[in-house]
Chains A and B, each alone.
Chain A
Amino acid sequence: MAGSDRRAAVTPAAPRRRGRGTLALAAAALAVANAPALARPERVVSLHLCADQLLLGLADRSQVVSLSPFATDPLRSHMAAAAAGIPRSRGTAEEVLGMTPDLVLAGARSARSTVATLSRLGIRVMDLPLPRDFAAIRDQIRAVAAALGHAARGEAMIAAMDARLAAARHDVPRPRPVAFIWQPGGFTSGPGSLEHAVLAAAGFDNLAARFGIGPFGHLPLERLVRAVPDLVINWMGSEPFPSLAREGLHHPALLKAARGTPVLSMPPELWTCGAWFTAGAVERLAAVRRALGKRRAAAERGRP
């Protein structure tokens, strides 16, 4: 994915430890403990959707042993195509132990008990919290790339992402247009959320911030009707999961007050996890911002 890496060719194949029981496990654990700057891991297991994507984006395919259950779902994972054909597991400690991994990537929502059990058994576990801004995304890419033994790929990935972000940011007008993120059930994302960082990077102000809403909060319809934004972003995208709460977007009050306000359906796989591809969400928003600017300019020219 992120360029070829010749070192992969000279690294000897990982010895198969499967089936040798705890002795082999203990030996592996010892090896990890004794040599922290050990050669690149050859049997990496991911327990979380977001970790799946970083792993697929940064590692050699031969390093990947197993992914999380949703890894091949194109509505959830940007790397669904790349995940095809790789085993998936529910990520219980038993399953993971059976795979004799030398590195386990866990997400913020992975079961804590599983992570604790694996660590106790001496398996190297890397915890990947959900990044809430692009600085955190850069840090995480760098850390995972280093852990996988592909630091250069990580730097290249970050540089490519930063170039896309810079291109999206170069023509932001003043005052910035206002966007509102609609999540099912009338919830929204404010400052402190990844979505807020994406809006800011694309040159939008976040309506939620004006109402003092934190990373995740509820904005009553009454207030939204009073302060109609320039853009409504449907967080769910067009995913076909059954969901009644989405009917909120079709509430008669909103349809009346926000008639003509464009609604952008954000593909959820672009920002449910924060990684290099989150720049794609920024690019989509920036494109909409430019279109809105043109439309407004045309409207102002048309006025007498």
Chain B
Amino acid sequence: MRGPVLMIVLIVALAAALALSLLVGSVPLAPGAVWNGLLGGGVDAVIVRDIRLPRTLLGALVGASLGLAGAALQGLLRNPLAEPGIIGASSTAALGAATAFYFGLAGSHPLAVAGASMAGALLAVALVHALAGRDASVLTLILAGVAVSAFAGALTALAINLASSAWAALEITFWLLGSLADRSMQHVAVAAPPMIVGWALLVSCARPLDALSLGEETARSLGVGLGGVRFRLVLGTALAVGAAVSVSGAIGFVGLVVPHLLRPLVDHRPGRLLLPSALGGAVLVLLADVAVRLLSVTVEVRLGVITALLGAPFFLWLVRRTRRTLA
């Protein structure tokens, strides 16, 4: 009965985080005013429906994508340190977006940045997968991710370096910090479809991931086609993370932290970890984005900065613990 209870708790937490995200903003609005704004008209309706609602929806979508992709990658690579950011998917997706900014494609088509981000993420996941091989050791995996991230970082820096105007450089830089501020429903419409396709691909791998946790040989003997599973996971991660980065910029560590917190609660079964991680990721990003709004007075503190400030110490702790278990 542990699974259903966990899901109920997470769904309640998500509902609370969604409500909180609608309630908090730079203009103080009473809960009643927010409710009226959702349903009625006037300036409050513009604030609630056109500014806070898209931001809230995107927070949930981006968080769910990152949490789900993190859980799936950790299952696929059978490695607790795997995460869209650590294997380079976030930085290459950001490189894709930066490229679109740099060449002025961003203004040309609403899907240009999303498409470029997803192509970048796809490339990173495929590359790390090829570099690290099937039974990746922790070291190989991290090194492959570091190499891919470093290369993507260098190319992004090159785009900033050669940018045609100071504004283009500033835009790319701020993009890299990650933010959900002042997005519109158009962003939701662009990002949601690829994310949902990505989620479906990832969730469809739940059973094979459970089988894979017993080792590749066992999984094969259970009738799991590993090639197909890998392909679906790589494609799903690229779609979900690429779409997330295309609207929010790079937001790190969510995919690392959330599956870890939840893993003991699902008896360490990677297949069962997927849905709770998606819900948990949504809750975490929504709460981090609420914190952003509370902390930002005259200068916006970027969302990616907050998640990195929370996530990096967690990662250090994880490295310590992993070292102890390996020793």
Q: A residues touching B (Cβ–Cβ < 8 Å)?
A: 184-186, 211-214, 217-218, 220-223, 225-226, 236, 239, 241-248, 251-253, 256-257
Set of chain A residues within 8 Å of B127, measured between Cβ atoms: none
Q: A225-B46, A253-B47, A257-B43 are in contact. Are A217 and B298 (CB under 8 A)?
A: yes
| Other contacts beyond A186-B181, A222-B25: 15, CB < 8 A | A213-B298, A214-B298, A222-B26, A222-B27, A222-B52, A239-B165, A241-B104, A241-B168, A242-B103, A243-B107, A244-B107, A244-B171, A247-B107, A252-B185, A257-B43
In the complex, what distance in Å separates the CA atom of A138 from the CA atom of B232?
66
* A218 near B298: Cβ-Cβ < 8 Å: yes
The digit string for B161-176, where 1 denotes a CB below 8 A from any CB of A, is 0001101101100100
B210 within 8 A of A: no
Residues of B contacting A256 in the complex (Cβ-Cβ under 8 angstroms): 46, 50
Complex: how many Å from CA A220 to CA B165?
24
Contact yes or no, A185 B170, CB < 8 A: yes
What CA separation (Å) do A239 and B186 show in the bound complex?
Answer: 24
Q: For the complex formed, measure the closest distance between the CB of B62 and the CB atoms of chain A, giving whole angstroms.
A: 18
Is B182 touching A220 in the complex (CB atoms < 8 A)? yes
When A218-B299, A247-B107 are in contact, do A252 and B184 touch as well, CB less than 8 Å?
A: yes
Q: Does B89 reach chain A (CB closer than 8 Å)?
A: no
B253 CB within 8 Å of chain A = no
Give the docked Cα–Cα distance between A242 and B102 (Å): 7
Partner of B101, one of A221, A222, A244, A251: A244
A244→B106 contact, CB < 8 A: yes
Q: Cβ of A248: which chain B residues have Cβ within 8 Å of it?
A: 182
Residue pair A223, B106 in contact (C-beta under 8 Å): no
Residues of B within 8 A of A (CB): 25-27, 43, 46-47, 50-52, 101-107, 113, 164-165, 167-168, 170-171, 174, 181-182, 184-186, 296, 298-300
Is the beta-carbon distance between B27 and A226 smaller than 8 angstroms? yes
A287 to B164, CA, bound (A): 32
Please determine whether B104 and A186 come into contact, CB atoms closer than 8 angstroms: no
Question: Contact between A252 and B25 (Cβ–Cβ < 8 Å)?
Answer: no
Contact present for B113 and A223 (CB under 8 Å): no
The 6 nearest A-B residue pairs measured at CB? A242-B104, A253-B50, A244-B106, A220-B26, A241-B165, A221-B182
Q: How far is the CA of A246 from the CA of B167 in the complex (A)?
A: 10
Q: Assess A225 versus B171: contact at CB under 8 Å? Given A242-B101, A244-B113, A248-B182.
A: no
In the complex, the answer to whether B182 meets A251 with C-beta atoms within 8 Å is yes
A242 touches B296 (CB 8 A): no
Q: How far is the CA of A239 from the CA of B73 in the complex (A)?
A: 44
Q: How far is the CA of A220 from the CA of B113 in the complex (A)?
A: 23
Name which residue of chain A comes closest to B49, CB basis. Answer: A253
Q: Roughly how many angstroms separate A252 CA and B106 CA in the complex, as a whole number?
A: 18
Contact in complex: B47, A222 (CB < 8 Å): yes
> Shortest CB–CB separation between residue A261 and chain B, in angstroms?
13
B184:A253 contact, CB within 8 angstroms: yes
Find out whether the CB atom of A241 lies under 8 angstroms from the CB atom of B298.
no
Residues of B with C-beta under 8 A to A243? 106-107, 165, 167-168, 171
Residues of A within 8 Å of B106, CB to CB, are 242-244
Residues of B near A213 (CB, < 8 A) are 298
List A contacts of B47 (CB < 8 A): 222, 225-226, 253
The CA of A218 and the CA of B106, in the complex, are separated in Å by: 22
A243–B174 alpha-carbon span in the complex (Å): 13
In the bound complex, residues from chain B placing their C-beta under 8 Å from that of A217 are 298-299
Question: When chains A and B are docked, how far (Å) is the Cα of A19 from the Cα of B27?
Answer: 65
Chain B residues within an 8 Å CB radius of A220: 25-27, 181-182, 296, 300
Residues of B within 8 A of A222 (CB): 25-27, 47, 51-52
Chain B residues whose C-beta falls within 8 Å of the C-beta of A186 in the assembled complex: 181-182, 300
Which of A243, A246, A253 counts the most chain B CB atoms within 10 A?
A253
Determine how close the nearest CB of chain A comes to the CB of B298; give it in whole angstroms. 5
Bound complex: CA A186 to CA B64 (Å): 27
A251 touches B50 (CB 8 A): yes
